[in-house]
Amino acid sequence: MSKQYLTLHTLDNAHPSDIYSIASTKTQLLSASGSSSILIHSTTESDFSLVQTLAGAHKLGIHHLVTSKEGNRAASAGFEGALKIWSVGEDGMWKEDGEISDGKKPGDAWAIALSANGEYLASSSISGCTNVWSLNVAEGMPKIKDYETKGSFGLAVALSPDGGYTASGHENGSVYIFNNDTGRLSHSVAGLVQPIRTVAFSPGSKLLAAAGDARVIALYDVKSGEQVANLTGHGGWILSLDWSDTGEYLLSGSHDSKAKVWRVETRTCVATHSHGDKPVWSAKWLPRVGARSEMFALAGGNNNISFYREAAG
């Protein structure tokens, strides 16, 4: 059984260069690219109009951008090595809360993830450590966890929606699952020996999806650490994974410009879309709002952001 998604709208040349990361809230899409600014587009207006520009956020460009599930917080990571934290006001305008000051190794942080409530930030690093910070501004946003691994570049990181786990994916193919309550490593899974470029927890925090250069999406049971499925079909390195709100579907974006929608229950690909002829750096579901159809957004090397809507019926 396949599903059909229609191109609803495309923001042509939304950014002047590759868009490396997009992140959504219930009403907005935030996007970041090789330029220094973060753009915020409305997802409740039919033309997805630009509603705010965070100019000059990171001078050398931005490689990662995340929002909390509750949509109150965002975090960005720049090529110059800084991690910035942002908050949204009731008027829908974002402002900077401050920067993470990691005195030991500035510039070591790479991928980032926010907890559902926006109170914690996790970061993978070039040296392989995975760190977690409290984002309590009054307390100076201190680091609260420091998970050591074997030194392979941490290309990806995720926090489980229930707050219980942190997961990281590494260049040597390792995937680690850490228990945030005990502060210890729960599982080290090494099914693939090629870079893991993206990891994502399911909405119920029961499954972890991991993917990268092997072009296979591996699904792991978070509690047992066992691999429960392999999703195959991508022709290029997989750069991005995102679960739909219900956990029924998984969205993946790859280096060969394709994005796929997978039905988790049947382990099948139900839709494939081509996003120009450049890498899809980031693929994200938009949160379900009211009676709106399931929607996702794609962004990548063609500088466009495209929105897709599930066809009715």
Partner 1 sequence: MLAVRTNVPFRDWVIARIEEMLERIVDGLLEESDQLTVTLKSRSNATRRTNPSQDLERPPSPKSKDITFPGGTVQEAWRFTVVVRVLELVHGCLVDNTVMTKRDMYYRHPDLFVKQSVVDRYVDDLACTLGVSRASLNVTAAAKGLVAGNFRIQKSDGALGILVPSISDDDILDLSCVCRVVIIEKEATFRTILQSPHWKIRSSRCILVTAKGYPDIATRHFLRYITDRSPQIPFFALVDFDPDGIAIMSTYKYGSFRLAHENVTAGGAPALNLPELNWLGVQSRQIVRSLVTKHDSYDSAITDAQGLMRLTPRDRKKARCMLEWDLCAEDGPEPAWRQSLQTMLMLNVKAEMQFFEQLPGGLSAWVEEELSVKEREK
Contact footprint for partner 1 (CB under 8 A):
16-18, 20, 34-36, 59-61, 63, 79-81, 107, 126, 153, 155, 171, 194-195, 213-216, 232, 235-237, 255-257, 278-279, 281, 301
Nearest residue (CB) to partner 1, 23 versus 135 = 23
User: Which H helix or E strand runs over 286?
Assistant: strand 280-286
Residue 57 beta carbon to partner 1: minimum distance, rounded to whole angstroms:
12
- Decide: 33 and 19 in contact? Cβ < 8 Å: yes
Return the structure tokens found at 281.
């750096």
Q: Which residues contact 92 (CB under 8 A, 6 or more apart)?
A: 27, 28, 51, 52
Residue 80 beta carbon to partner 1: minimum distance, rounded to whole angstroms:
7
Nearest residue (CB) to partner 1, 224 versus 232 = 232
Nearest residue (CB) to partner 1, 195 versus 203 = 195
Residue 87 beta carbon to partner 1: minimum distance, rounded to whole angstroms:
25
Residue 291 beta carbon to partner 1: minimum distance, rounded to whole angstroms:
37
Residue 225 beta carbon to partner 1: minimum distance, rounded to whole angstroms:
24
- Decide: 145 and 157 in contact? Cβ < 8 Å: no
Nearest residue (CB) to partner 1, 202 versus 252 = 252
Taking the C-alpha atoms of 133, 136, 138 and 139 in order, what is their torsion angle to the nearest 10 degrees?
Answer: -40
- Decide: 250 and 209 in contact? Cβ < 8 Å: yes
Return the structure tokens found at 267.
């382990």
Nearest residue (CB) to partner 1, 56 versus 142 = 56
